[in-house]
Amino acid sequence: MSAGKENLFEKKMIRLQEIVTALESGDLPLEEGMALYREGAECSRFCREQLEKARHELSLWQDGELKALTPDEIGGAARGREPQEAE
């Protein structure tokens, strides 16, 4: 669960921007430009998919272990519980 994979969206976005800049500068061979364009299109597609299915994953760190947590387990129930916690 270290970095790398999770930052892919940002990395691809940055890469996409780099590619655009490189293409705009225009002093690279056509084949390279085409390869870059393909890569850029791939980055764009990836990021779009990522955005379409983007959901925040929620987990709970408790008692030294990690548990999955669904949004349902918080929120609504909380409204009833907080007063008890207060005072």
Partner 1 sequence: MQDGILTVRALTEHLRRSLEGRFPFVWVRGEVSNLSRPGSGHIYFSLKDQDAQLQCVWFRGQQRQAEQEQAFDPLTGEVFDRPRPSPLELLRNGLNMLCAGRISVYAPRGQYQLLVELVQPAGQGLLAQAFEERKRRLAQAGYFAQERKRLAPWNPQRVALITSPSGAAIHDFLELARDRGSGAQIRLFPASVQGEEAAPEIVRALTAANAQDWAQVIVLIRGGGSLEDLWAFNEESVAEAIFHSRLPVVAGIGHEVDVTLADMTADLRAATPSHAAQLLWPQRAELRQRLDESAAALRRAFAIRLEREELRLRERENALRWFSPQRHQIRLAERLARLSLALRGAARQWLTNKSRVLDGLERSRRAALTPGRLDALQARLSLLRAALDAALPHRLSNAVHSLTLAQNALRAAGVAWLETRFRRLESLEAALAANDPLAPLHRGYALVRTARGGILRSVGQTAPNREIEVRLADGRLTAVVSRVSPDAAQSGEKNI
Question: Left (φ > 0), alpha (ψ -120 to 50) or beta: where does 52 sit?
Answer: alpha
Residue 19 CA: distances (Å) to CA of 3, 23, 38, 75: 23, 6, 10, 42
User: Per rule CB under 8 A, is residue 35 in the interface with partner 1?
Assistant: no
User: Per rule CB under 8 A, is residue 68 in the interface with partner 1?
Assistant: no
**CA-CA distance, 8 to 56, in Å (whole number)?**
15
Site track for partner 1 across 5-34, x = CB under 8 A:
-xx-xx--x--xx-xx--xx-x---x--xx
User: Per rule CB under 8 A, is residue 48 in the interface with partner 1?
Assistant: yes
Contact assessment for residue 25 and residue 19, using Cβ atoms and an 8 Å cutoff? no
Q: Which residues bind partner 1 (CB under 8 A)?
A: 1-3, 6-7, 9-10, 13, 16-17, 19-20, 23-24, 26, 30, 33-34, 37, 40-41, 44, 47-48, 50-51, 53-62, 66, 69, 71, 73-79, 81-83, 85-87
